[in-house]
Amino acid sequence: MGAFAINQLDAARLQQGLVDLEEKDPQRGKRIRERARASVGRLSPDFPGNPRTGVLDESAEAEERFVEFANDEPCPVLDPETGLCELYESRPMTCRTFGPPVQSEGGLGVCELCFHGASDEQIAACEMVVDPDDLESKLLEKLEKNKGPRGRTLVAFCLQ
């Protein structure tokens, strides 16, 4: 639950995953696109960015608005009946790293539900290095250089 920002590399993976799913199971793919369009319709009026392109504004004011933006919006890729991700193999990096402690600009990010009652030392011992060779940023730079859209977006906007 809740809208979260993804980069254009995540968007490209999701888009390709949806194309692949549409070839195997057109009805499931159609349902995802319908959920994404419905989500974009709900999110567009207050979107802290350009609702036409789906690119988030990177200003400090927009970043602040995003903190409280769409926290109750379901991800359009989650099957509403099962709660399972229908594009699991193509999921964004945020989804791939949810749970284990991951270092970020703000320090060690931790899912409180996964580490309830654990000491700081125990949590630190479980730290996961997401991309030790920094391949994601190199691939993202190459993609944005060669393919158009730049900036962060949301799952719904890239799949509509």
- Predicted confidence at residue 138, as pLDDT, reads 83
Tell me phi and psi for residue 103, to 5 degrees. -75, 135
Least confident range from 24-38, 59-73, 85-99, 132-146: namely 132-146
What is this structure's pTM?
A: 0.72
Distance between CA atoms of residues 49 and 34, nearest Å: 22
Confidence of residue 115 (pLDDT cuts 50, 70, 90): low
Domain boundaries, the chain: 8-159
Looking at per-residue confidence, does 93 or 41 come out higher? 41
User: pLDDT tens-digit profile of 5-35?
Assistant: 999 999 999 999 999 999 999 999 999 999 9
Structure tokens, 100:
């284990």
| Burial zone of 24 (CB within 10 Å; 0-12 exposed, 13-18 middle, 19+ buried) | exposed
Confidence at residue 117, expressed as pLDDT on a 0 to 100 scale: 77
Q: What is the pLDDT of residue 28?
A: 96
SS3 category, 34: helix
